[in-house]
Amino acid sequence: MKDFAGTPGTFTGLVLRVSQCLFAAGSIASVVTAAGFFRYTAFCYLIASMGLQVFWSFALAWLDSYALVKKKIIHNPILVSLFVIGDWVTATLSLSAAASSAGIAVLFYRDLGVCHGDCLKYQMSISLAFMSWVTIKTSALIMLWILFTG
Amino acid sequence: MKDFAGTPGTFTGLVLRVSQCLFAAGSIASVVTAAGFFRYTAFCYLIASMGLQVFWSFALAWLDSYALVKKKIIHNPILVSLFVIGDWVTATLSLSAAASSAGIAVLFYRDLGVCHGDCLKYQMSISLAFMSWVTIKTSALIMLWILFTG
């Protein structure tokens, strides 16, 4: 299997996983400190999705660190298939959660001209969720490439 | 390049493209007949995204039909790269548009308990948009596989 920037067990792969984790954790932190977020299903879905993202990315970051320290190769086809499934599921959930929350934010901010609770915190949370999606999508594409090219 | 179900120039490939077209056109038809859709940015974005989907899928359906009738092979690497980019862009836009509209629909229907205009039409439109996304995502994955495996 190929070994290039972003693949599992490389420093860039670890950086990608840590970024996903930090963006997702930032998104959760931003939305839970906003007043009344629990009244909106979309924001609760955002928290659930970003929570799953933190959990998944943290596990893979830990695995990358272990592979880096022990100088182990983790390009096993079964492991890579699992990474592909996990990455694609979390990427799809992250994008849909970020987009549905963005729909609500645009509705309040632009369409209705009202801002319930802490608008800026919602916007910050959504931006961080989109950044988390960009990094997980990058990982997902790299994983798919490794899987398809063997 | 590999030739299996769903690849460009095959009957299943054509069926996928026609399905994408029909689901996206159905989604637009459903939302534009609902009263007051233009007041919500998310629904306008859904129409724009589904419109692009119809245009893209119709062009590729036409190309598939041409390849089937003339028995031409259209697995040229440059063409496949273009298909990959187009499919991934339209798939991402479709999912984000469907999810942001779903966010609004859930807000009205469940969180606020109010249904502005034709709720059922909005729900039908969002369901069709998600079905369109499933079919375009399938095409996108097949294209990526063709590109990566050469």
Confidence at residue B116, expressed as pLDDT on a 0 to 100 scale: 65
CA of B146 vs chain A CAs: smallest distance (Å) = 9
Sign of CA dihedral A38, A43, A48, A54: negative
Q: Which of residues 76-105 of A touch B (CB under 8 A)?
A: 92, 95-104
Residue B21: which residues within 8 A CB-CB, separation 6 or more? B53, B54, B57, B58, B61
CB atoms within 10 A of CB A133: 29
Shortest CB distance from B145 goes to which of A110, A111, A148? A148
Structural domain including B117 reads: 11-149
Residue A2 belongs to some domain of the structure = no
Name the pLDDT band for B131 (thresholds 50, 70, 90): very high
pLDDT in tens, A19-46: 999 999 999 999 999 888 888 999 999 9
* B40-64 confidence digits (pLDDT tens): 999 999 999 999 999 999 999 999 9
Kindly state whether residue B67 falls inside one of the protein's structural domains: yes
Sign of CA pseudo-dihedral A47, A49, A53, A55: positive
Task: Say yes or no to pLDDT of B97 above 90.
Answer: yes
A101 contacts in chain B (CB < 8 Å): 103
| Amino acid type, B150 | G
In a domain, B3, yes or no: no
Is A50 contained in some domain? yes
* Chain B residues close to A42, C-beta within 8 Å: 103, 106-107
Contact residues, chain A, for B97 at CB < 8 Å: 99
Chain A closest CA to B47's CA: distance in Å?
14
- A67 lies in some domain: yes
Predicted model pTM: 0.90
According to the model, what pLDDT value does residue B9 have?
A: 79
User: What count of other Cβ atoms lies within 10 Å of the Cβ of residue B16?
Assistant: 24
In a domain, B2, yes or no: no
What is d(CA B72, CA B23) in angstroms, rounded to the nearest whole number? 28
Q: Is the pLDDT of residue B150 over 80?
A: no
Residue B133: exposure state from Cβ atoms within 10 A (0-12, 13-18, ≥19): buried
What local confidence, expressed as pLDDT, does residue A2 receive? 60
Q: Does A145 sit within 8 Å of B149, measured CB to CB?
A: no
Residue of chain A minimizing CA distance to B141: A144
Tokens representing residue B79 in the block: 């063409």
pLDDT above 60: residue B66? yes
**ipTM attached to this prediction:** 0.88
Best mutation target among A84, A85, A96 (most B Cβ atoms within 10 Å) is: A96
CB of A42 closer than 8 Å to CB of A100: yes
What percent of chain A clears pLDDT 70, i.e. is strictly above it? 95
The residues of chain A scoring below 50 in pLDDT are: none
A97: nearest CA partner in chain B? B99
Whether B5 is covered by a domain: the verdict is: no
Q: How high is the pLDDT of residue B136?
A: 95
Phi-psi label, residue A117: left if phi above 0, alpha if psi -120 to 50, beta otherwise: left
Residue among B2, B8, B5 nearest B84 (CA):
B8
Place of tokens 């689901």: B23
Nearest Cα residue in chain B from A92: B95
In order, the DSSP letters of chain B are ----TTSTTSHHHHHHHHHHHHHHHHHHHHHHTSTTGGG-HHHHHHHHHHHHHHHHHHHHHHHHHHHHHHT-----HHHHHHHHHHHHHHHHHHHHHHHHHHHHHHIIIIIS----S-HHHHHHHHHHHHHHHHHHHHHHHHHHHHHHH-
Task: Please report whether residue B18 resides in a domain.
Answer: yes
**Tally of domains in chain B:** 1
Q: Is the dihedral of CA A145, A149, B2, B5 positive or negative?
A: negative
Two tokens, residue A74: 């983790």
